[in-house]
Chains A and B, each alone.
Chain A
């Protein structure tokens, strides 16, 4: 029992400091950001204080190469990908490479693609680290080479580096990185380093095994839920049954009688029960009696919201995109096709429900969490506790999935645990655990949307005009990130940049005000825009009497990377060739987060009137394929995740109350739902782009298009389960 307490005692931080101490005079390479340009510096470390965490790599005398990841690992393979990039330019021995999480420090670990805050999202981890980590690796390599050259009295140009060893062919001398670390730390930092030509890559583009596979196969990987600090209390929080309600009064006398319950406190988010473990805390919560003030609560249900949205969709909205004169062209079209689409609230339901641990340390606090945006989490905790953000240390741990859920504008779970600590007062560490019910009913959903589309064809049946209205909540409003036009880019992404060549194109947006907190959900706006655009283009192809791939090909002539994935998927899927009996094929192609993905699916009629998806052929162009094996894994994952939303997932509000509560009613994709997935990667020398999200958008429309080909039925409301029940 003691071992777990020890293990849990600030593990990553302790290892970091021990490693720093043990490394003695190891080599640290990092960056200062000055005027937006990285200035490389090196420091020889004489103690832990010299290892200021503005470092991306640490090389210790024991030959270990530690890559510091500024991005959280929650499944997407970031630790492995980032380490691969740095190790490539360093010519490290891959078996010596380890990865550690960076502490919260936006000045050092900001994400250039997220406006400089420290955070992971938008499938940007590899893209915003690519140059940075190549530079960091190449600089470290140059300094190791310089150290060897000096030691051996030869010129640097005569030295070779391979698998963590510097060698001199002329004399046969060799030294490992660890042997050179101390001397390298004293070398001047080169102003400029040469990066490899892609033809020289040894790790990038090959199958590099995940750094975390072993510990995630034997139960040793440590998540926030696994943190146990001495004397720690577990908290669960009773939140209002309707969004926007607040506590009017409560009776905790029964809760306090539950054995193990230590305290009951009121916080801005609800009533927290603190106990010696999860079970007494939950029993305590179940015994609470609370009267809620629901005067400001959202009381509309999904049906009412859909009805309001559908009315709005009939009216012009904010202009997100205008090409030509779409209204006039619609009036003059020979044939008009119309469709309305409905998209429900979606919960993210990561396998590890939200959790966070906090304890007081010195003048500040330490937090353990799957912190997706440490900058926001730091601020949220500081705000709750009345201290400065720099007094909050964050240990980012492996997180059991996120899909967007851990990246909240208000640092939800961290704010809550900090508020609980403050309300409780005492000095004991606290772990806050969300139950699955808290997770499914807790909001921060992918918001509901209604889309209305109209397309016009000319007398020859050629599509000429595209008119789309999108109605729904703005996700970015809360962040103050909506431009003056009022058009939230995340509401219209994937629609306002429709790649198909239309002479007339209009995309409108209506922002709605709903008291349900929204959030980005794996692929954000593309979750709905890919569905409406890719099924509607299919409808136009049908109206035009044209093959869906042929029409896309014709209308994508100016978009070579869209075309590239479309052609590759069509070829590999055998588009146009006979389909196995009882099945039909459907296609969708969509760009998101800089990556292009086409998916062609084969479906048959499955159980409960739902499609059974047998096979998915996926083609992806994400620039340089840093790790093809992981790209395939992410496509499989995005497809499986998106398939659940296509077929089953929705949170339905009745009178403002979420009706689903756990995996018995919010149905995740299961093993038997999972199709065979083939992933084909387009060869590319372009800078790498994301793969965590782009696999998701095309799957639902591809399935819907295949379902139409199979049955003649268009599904315009997700999930399929709901649409089929309405038939």
Chain B
């Protein structure tokens, strides 16, 4: 029997104490323990971005992040997303009908919000760098790119 250990993590501004093995990836704590289901499982090896959350404000893959390593840090999931960038991104996403199956889109939105928070006027090359780690098997990429530009324009306006 492995050692149980309770870990306290701060998610969306609230502290939660969970009793899981310390190597449990944050993704599965969010989902199976906290029932924050907007963050998705896609690959488990940080190669698809479906599990993207913000760790201290930066887009991070939660599927390979042991829960013990996020103690004392701020985790934001799509359920806790707020602010100007998030609003602009989600409005653009919805208004331009970016999603198809929609499964990857929480991760896409988290990456896009992370990008715009750092860089309110991203170029296509900036978008390439920020978004290439987020896979969409429906290949909604053209609309993702257009929606990020739209969100940037809306934030300016």
Contacts and interface: CB of A to CB of B under 8 A. Distances in A.
Interface of A: 1, 3-5, 8, 74-77, 209-210, 212-223, 225-226, 228, 234, 257-260, 276-280, 283, 349-353, 398-403, 433, 435-436, 629-630, 633, 636-637, 639-641, 643-644, 662-664, 668-674, 676-677
A279 B38 contact: no
B116 interface: no
Contacts of A662: 43-45, 47
Contacts of B93: 213, 217
Given A209-B95, A259-B21, A670-B132, 9 more contacts: A75-B138, A76-B100, A217-B93, A398-B102, A401-B137, A641-B137, A643-B139, A671-B132, A671-B136
A228 B35 CA distance: 8
B40 A637 contact: no
Nearest to A616: B142
A663 B138 contact: no
A640 B127 CA distance: 18
B60 interface: no
B41 A353 contact: yes
Interface in B126-144: 127-128, 131-132, 134-144
A280 B40 CA distance: 18
A646 to B, nearest CB: 13
Nearest to A675: B142
Contact of B21 (A210, A278, A279): A279
Interface string B90-101: 100111011111
Nearest to A218: B90
Contact of A217 (B21, B48, B109): B109
B99 to A, nearest CB: 4
A218 to B, nearest CB: 6
B77 to A, nearest CB: 7
A215 B94 CA distance: 8
Contact of B31 (A3, A212, A278, A671): A278
B98 A213 contact: yes
A669 B48 CA distance: 11
A726 to B, nearest CB: 26
18 contacts: A75-B100, A213-B99, A214-B94, A216-B99, A221-B102, A222-B37, A226-B37, A228-B35, A279-B24, A279-B25, A351-B50, A398-B101, A400-B103, A401-B137, A633-B97, A636-B140, A671-B132, A672-B132
B106 A351 contact: no
B20 interface: yes
Given A210-B97, A280-B21, A351 B140 contact: no
A672 B1 CA distance: 46
Q: What range describes how many residues of B lie at the interface? A: 35 or more
B94 A217 contact: yes
A668 B142 CA distance: 15
Given A212-B99, A217-B93, A350-B137, A225 B40 contact: yes
Contacts of B28: 277-279
Given A213-B99, A225-B40, A5 B35 contact: yes
B101 A400 contact: yes
Given A3-B35, A219-B78, A226-B37, A436 B94 contact: no
A228 B105 CA distance: 21
B58 interface: no
Nearest to B37: A226
A626 B89 CA distance: 28
B145 interface: yes
A276 B31 CA distance: 12
Contact of A351 (B20, B103, B128, B131): B103
B132 A351 contact: no
A637 B77 contact: no
Given A219-B79, A225-B37, A663 B135 contact: yes
B35 A400 contact: no
Contacts of A218: 38, 78, 81, 90, 109
B2 interface: yes
B36 to A, nearest CB: 7
Nearest to B93: A217
A629 B97 contact: yes
B135 A664 contact: no
B33 interface: yes
A216 B98 CA distance: 9
B4 A259 contact: yes
A213 B93 CA distance: 7
A640 B95 CA distance: 22
Interface in B4-60: 4, 20-21, 24-25, 28, 31-45, 47-48, 50
A671 B33 contact: no
A399 B101 contact: yes
A3 B34 CA distance: 10
Given A221-B102, A662-B47, A668 B37 contact: no
Contacts of A676: 142
B24 to A, nearest CB: 5
Contacts of A398: 101-102
B30 to A, nearest CB: 11
Nearest to A677: B142
B141 A75 contact: no
A353 B37 CA distance: 15
A671 B145 contact: yes
A257 B141 contact: no
B40 to A, nearest CB: 7
B104 interface: yes
A352 B90 contact: no
B42 A671 contact: no
B94 to A, nearest CB: 4
A400 B140 contact: no
A663 B144 contact: no
Given A217-B109, A399-B101, A403-B137, A234 B38 contact: no
Q: Which of A3, A5, A77, A436 has the most CB of B within 10 A?
A: A436
Contacts of B143: 633, 636
Given A75-B138, A350-B137, A216 B35 contact: no
Contacts of A641: 137-139
A398 B105 CA distance: 13
Contacts of A633: 97, 100, 140, 143
A669 B132 CA distance: 10
B153 to A, nearest CB: 17
A351 B138 CA distance: 9
Contacts of B99: 75, 210, 212-213, 216-217
A433 B63 CA distance: 15
Contacts of A670: 132, 135, 141
A436 B43 contact: yes
Contacts of A8: 35
Nearest to A629: B97
Q: Which of B39, B101, B103 has the most CB of A within 10 A?
A: B101
Contacts of A4: 35-37
A669 to B, nearest CB: 6
Contacts of B95: 209, 213
Contact of A401 (B21, B31, B103): B103
A401 B99 CA distance: 11
Contact of A352 (B40, B141, B145): B40
B131 A671 contact: yes
Contacts of B103: 223, 350-352, 399-401
B35 A1 contact: yes
A75 B97 CA distance: 11
Given A216-B105, A217-B105, A637-B100, A674 B90 contact: no
Given A3-B35, A219-B77, A639 B100 contact: no
Contacts of B132: 670-672
B29 to A, nearest CB: 8
